[in-house]
């Protein structure tokens, strides 16, 4: 019975793709035909907690939209230290853009820290999709613009805020994410050690 249901891809796909279409609608208006073309060109996929969507050294073949779950994007420095640069939850994107646009081996790793459902845009169909649906190119331009601004602001925060203020900013900006991830991963994201994050939190508890 379950197997049978899996043989009806369009119905299945049209339900799963809803979060993405809702998201796209905030930026551009697609016709029903355009939505159908889009649906036919993307890939739905589930990963289990711990699985890698992208591994350092592999060429990044997809830009991924997260339907459910949570991923961490990180790299390992020369000492093998893990540095998390992004958590992606529902309605966020993940990939190694550098690897994707140049089709060279990735510096970054993307690993699921929860069971995760994704919609993947394969590199082979991306240009075709832009040609067929110029509005999608506009959409991607806009979200990449926003991505650039967000990254720039993060850079600024790292320059100008103390570790404590970066933690408070994160807590305030993404109140739900803190509950979903281990503290040592948050410490890595904030650019500090887990011990120091622990110290910051106990200091904050004393303050009020």
Judged by the rule CB under 7 A, the positions of this chain that interact with DNA are: 162-164, 182-184, 191-199, 201-202
Least distance between a copy of itself and beta carbon 146 (Å)? 7
Least distance between DNA and beta carbon 85 (Å)? 15
Residue 202 interacts with, from DNA, a copy of itself, none (CB under 5-8 Å by kind): DNA
Binding site for a copy of itself (CB under 8 A): 75, 77-78, 81, 83, 85, 97-98, 101, 107, 130, 134, 137-138, 140-142, 144-149, 151-156, 158-160, 191
Q: In the 3-class helix/strand/coil scheme, how is the chain assigned residue by residue?
A: CHHHHHCCHHHHHHHHCHHHHHHHHCCCCCCHHHHHHHHHHCEEEEECCCCEEECCCCECCEEEEEEECCEEEEEECCCCCEEEEEEECCCCEECCHHHHHHCCECCCEEEECCCEEEEEEEHHHHHHHHHHCHHHHHHHHHHHHHHHHHHHHHHHHHHHCCHHHHHHHHHHHCHHHHHHCCHHHHHHHHCCCHHHHHHHHHHHHHHC
Our CB check for a copy of itself shows the closer of 13 and 28 to be 28
Our CB check for DNA shows the closer of 171 and 199 to be 199
Our CB check for a copy of itself shows the closer of 67 and 192 to be 192
Pairing of strands 43-47, 116-122: antiparallel
d(CA 159, CA 34) in angstroms, rounded, equals 43
d(CA 50, CA 30) in angstroms, rounded, equals 35
Least distance between DNA and beta carbon 69 (Å)? 15
Residue 75 interacts with, from a copy of itself, DNA, none (CB under 5-8 Å by kind): a copy of itself
Residue 142 interacts with, from DNA, a copy of itself, none (CB under 5-8 Å by kind): a copy of itself
Least distance between DNA and beta carbon 160 (Å)? 11
Residue 193 interacts with, from DNA, a copy of itself, none (CB under 5-8 Å by kind): DNA
Residue 58 interacts with, from a copy of itself, DNA, none (CB under 5-8 Å by kind): none
Least distance between a copy of itself and beta carbon 61 (Å)? 16
């Amino acid at each position: 019975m379950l197997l049978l249901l899996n043989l009806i891809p369009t119905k299945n796909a049209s339900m799963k793709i809803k979060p993405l279409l809702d998201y796209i609608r905030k930026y551009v208006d697609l016709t029903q035909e355009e939505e159908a073309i889009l649906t036919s060109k993307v890939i739905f996929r589930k990963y289990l907690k711990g699985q890698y969507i992208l591994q350092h050294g592999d060429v990044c073949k997809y830009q991924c939209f997260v339907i459910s779950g949570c991923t961490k994007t990180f790299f390992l420095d020369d000492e093998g230290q893990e540095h998390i640069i992004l958590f992606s939850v529902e309605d966020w994107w993940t990939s190694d853009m550098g690897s994707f646009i140049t089709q060279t081996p990735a510096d970054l790793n993307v690993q699921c820290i929860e069971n995760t459902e994704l919609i993947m845009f394969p590199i082979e169909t991306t240009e075709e999709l832009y040609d067929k649906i110029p509005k999608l190119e506009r959409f991607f331009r806009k979200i990449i613009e926003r991505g650039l601004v967000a990254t720039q602001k993060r850079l600024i925060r790292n320059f100008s805020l103390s570790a404590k203020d970066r933690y408070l900013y994160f807590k305030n900006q993404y109140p739900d994410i803190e509950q979903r991830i281990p503290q040592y991963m948050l410490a890595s994201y904030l650019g500090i050690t887990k011990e120091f994050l622990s110290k910051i939190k106990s200091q904050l508890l004393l303050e009020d």
